Amino acid sequence: SQELEQSPQSLIVQEGKNLTINCTSSKTLYGLYWYKQKYGEGLIFLMMLQKGGEEKSHEKITAKLDEKKQQSSLHITASQPSHAGIYLCGADTFIGGSNYKLTFGKGTLLTVNP
């Protein structure tokens, strides 16, 4: 079964600093999703990556999938307190027919100090 390892488990940064969160898979990634979660709330979809070397950006958040499709990184530029939360990566896993489930990493808790 596919396993995703996220690092670091937690991260504390000063407002305005850049940061990177990594997600490493035990198998080739065919669809990699990044979500953000505030404590006690649902997951908010950020970005989805499929192709080796693909990079997507939304506002100050950039996600990349490496060429070998086994590692993804999420980079935040000039962090703000609004970026605080838990970041989760999830990978597509085939479950039959034309359907997929998501296997998640354990998440990275980001704290941004003003």
- Binding residues vs another protein (CB under 8 A): 31, 33, 35, 40-45, 48, 88, 90, 92, 95, 97-107
Q: What letter would DSSP give residue 59?
A: T
Name the β-bridge partners of 74: 21, 63
Whole-angstrom distance, CA of residue 72 vs CA of residue 8:
13
Q: Which is nearer to another protein, 32 or 76 (CB)?
A: 32
Smallest distance, Å, CB 20 to another protein?
A: 20
In the complex, what is the shortest distance from the CB of residue 111 to another protein, in angstroms, rounded to a whole number?
Answer: 17
Least spacing, CB of residue 45 vs another protein, in Å: 6
CA–CA distance, 105 with 3 (Å, rounded to integer): 7
Which is nearer to another protein, 67 or 94 (by Cβ)? 94
CB 39 within 8 A of CB 10: no
Q: Which of 9, 23, 42 is nearest to 111 (CA)?
A: 9
For another protein, give the closer residue by CB, 4 or 84: 4
